[in-house]
Amino acid sequence: MPDCDLCQAVSPTVQECALQRHLRPDQQRIVATSRYAAAIPTIGAFVPGYLLIVPARHVLSLGQLPDDELKDLEEFARHEAERLHHVYRQPVLAFEYGLNVPDGRRVGHGHLHLLPTTADLAEWLAQRLPGHKIDSFTELPRSDDTSYIAVQDWTGVTMCHSVPNDASPRLRLREIVANLDHRVPDETWDWQSHPFPEKMRRRPGRPPPSPTRPG
């Protein structure tokens, strides 16, 4: 879809887009690709290494992807998580709010958040929402009238929480993760108000040792 920011961001034929305007002039916005998805920096990268895994197909949620594309995206995301862990020496969190409501969010293209952080989003959600473990992203809810939250921790355990399409007020997962990560300044989770271009533009270097490195 030509008016979709994420469609433009992952298209190799698009030269100028909202994401590109936040990056260095010499910086490629597409970090890596698989057959059906791409990894890109996110506007609002409140921690270094924060990426989005974005399917090439325009869908409201990842659960709406065909099985072969969803399997490819999941494998790709795990590979990118390993790369992030190697560089940043932090556990890597993956999550998606699969909101299947047209025009129900600011970004209407399904995507997976992937970031190095010690924030325990899975535990936070477990205390507040019923959920169940799934073995693969292909087990995500596929119905248009069902929305969900999916969280995959560094150990590879994926939890799925069903949420109503009309949930109000809706959980702001970025805000929750930011609040759980002591590195993130208060009230800076909103990507429109706080794009953090300096973190998006940072070249990966040698990070300081982390006491939370998973075994």
CATH of the domain at 81: 3.30.428.10
What is the residue-level pLDDT of the chain in tens, covering all 215 positions?
A: 568 999 999 999 998 998 999 998 888 899 999 999 999 999 999 999 999 999 999 999 999 999 999 999 999 999 999 999 999 999 999 999 999 887 766 678 999 999 999 999 999 999 999 999 999 999 999 888 889 999 999 999 999 999 988 766 788 999 999 999 999 998 888 888 888 887 887 766 544 443 333 33
Q: Which residues of 163-198 are buried (b: 16+ CB within 10 A; e: fewer)?
A: beeeeeeebebbebbbebbeebeeeebebeebbbbe
Q: Which domain holds residue 119?
A: 5-200
Residue 43 lies in a domain: yes
Residue 206 lies in a domain: no
Residue 205 lies in a domain: no
Residue 137 lies in a domain: yes
Residue 185 lies in a domain: yes
51-55 and 92-98 as β-strands: parallel, antiparallel, unpaired?
unpaired
| Separation between Cα atoms, residue 12 and residue 176, nearest integer Å | 33
Residue 31 lies in a domain: yes
Residue 51 lies in a domain: yes
Residue 116 lies in a domain: yes
Question: Looking at the 3D structure of the chain, how many domains does it have?
Answer: 1
